[in-house]
Amino acid sequence: MEQQAVGSGSGVGLDSQTVLHGLFGDPVKHSKSPLMHNRAFRELGLNAAYAAFHVDPGRLKAAVEGIRAMGFRGVNVTIPHKVEVMDYLDEIDEHALAIGAVNTIVNEDGRLIGYNTDGIGYVRSLREEAGLSVQGKRVLMLGAGGAARGVAYALAREGAETMWIANRTADKAVQLADSLGSLTDTRAIGYDDLAAIRGDVDLIVHNTSVGMHPNVDEVLIDTSWFHEGLTVSDLVYNPLETRLLREAKARGAHAHDGLGMFIYQGVYAFEYWTGRQAPVAVMREVVEASLRA
């Protein structure tokens, strides 16, 4: 279903025709998604709107029922609801099922379909911003939480040759490695054992919250061995340049920040909902401006 433009200048028209979208999470107040999607609707002249809803744990089922009851077209789901929400949907896309989490819901005439755009969003940002194709690459994943699962799945599907997964809680690294074993060569590794693989790694992906505002002086691993030819990618985008990325650049490595993953997960969600090509440049511009403010 492609949404029709309602004429230039119509902007986000909150009237009886407005097609509604939202974000369900806890917390949601810091989210840049409403800003980004409303800017995109306005750019394409769509009579649509996007708002953030603080949904407490325990109320998620009722909130999802509300999508059907009120005819929302689409919803993003964020922490802590990405796994539980799967229980309340009518259909789950095969990739979201393999990842074990949903971040995007599309309402097709009352049928709620769940997708996961985090991993594909990440891979697209890596390609478009870092110019990096994943095919044949040897990847070190730091962290094995929800974000890491989507990213690791997408990297494995895109043809990463080897993936090492390190995590503070070692069991979770083993679990994630096992779950991707049918897609590529995947192994769990301890943070203390990274020296053994240093020479083999092409891409490091940091998937934990270490270094995120306000703890901007933190860094998860020793960076003294980073070198030219290595790409270091940080999912954290607040701040845009984390200590990890600063140290990567200082050693000649290529640094890729986490904003692109956020933008492109939104781009894919927007395209699922509207059937239109998302205006990526303005979406990025408005989020960057807000992070600088």
Size of the site for ligand ATR (CB under 6 A): 16
Cα angle: 227, vertex 190, 243; to 5 degrees: 45
Q: Do the beta carbons of residue 65 and residue 85 sit within 8 Å?
A: no
Among positions 152-191, residues that touch ligand ATR (CB under 6 A) are 167-169, 172
Binding flag, residue 148, ligand ATR (CB under 6 A)? yes
As measured in angstroms, the least distance from the Cβ of 170 to ligand ATR is 8
- Tell me the one-letter amino acid at 170: A
Residue matched to tokens 């390190």: 166
CA 278 to chain centre: 16
Spot the catalytic one: 61, 82, 137, 172: 82
Edge to edge, what strands does the sheet with 162-166 contain?
Answer: 185-189, 162-166, 138-142, 203-206, 231-234, 254-256
Binding flag, residue 67, ligand ATR (CB under 6 A)? no
With contacts defined by CB under 6 A, name the span among 5-13, 46-54, 139-147, 192-200 that binds ligand ATR. 139-147
Binding flag, residue 276, ligand ATR (CB under 6 A)? no
Binding flag, residue 215, ligand ATR (CB under 6 A)? no
Nearer to ligand ATR, 92 or 205 (CB): 205
Helix extents (H) in 1-144: 33-44, 60-70, 94-99, 118-130
* Cα dihedral: 152, 40, 50, 85 (round 10): -20
With contacts defined by CB under 6 A, name the span among 22-30, 107-115, 138-146, 247-255 that binds ligand ATR. 138-146
10 Å CB burial of residue 224 (0-12, 13-18, 19+) is exposed
- Tell me the one-letter amino acid at 29: K
Binding flag, residue 66, ligand ATR (CB under 6 A)? no
Residue 82 known to be catalytic:
yes
Binding flag, residue 146, ligand ATR (CB under 6 A)? yes
Q: Which helix (H) or strand (E) holds 287?
A: helix 280-292
Nearer to ligand ATR, 134 or 141 (CB): 141
As measured in angstroms, the least distance from the Cβ of 220 to ligand ATR is 6
Binding flag, residue 210, ligand ATR (CB under 6 A)? yes
Binding flag, residue 208, ligand ATR (CB under 6 A)? yes
Binding flag, residue 248, ligand ATR (CB under 6 A)? no
Active-site positions? Answer: 82
The footprint of ligand ATR (CB under 6 A) covers 79, 143-148, 167-169, 172, 207-210, 220
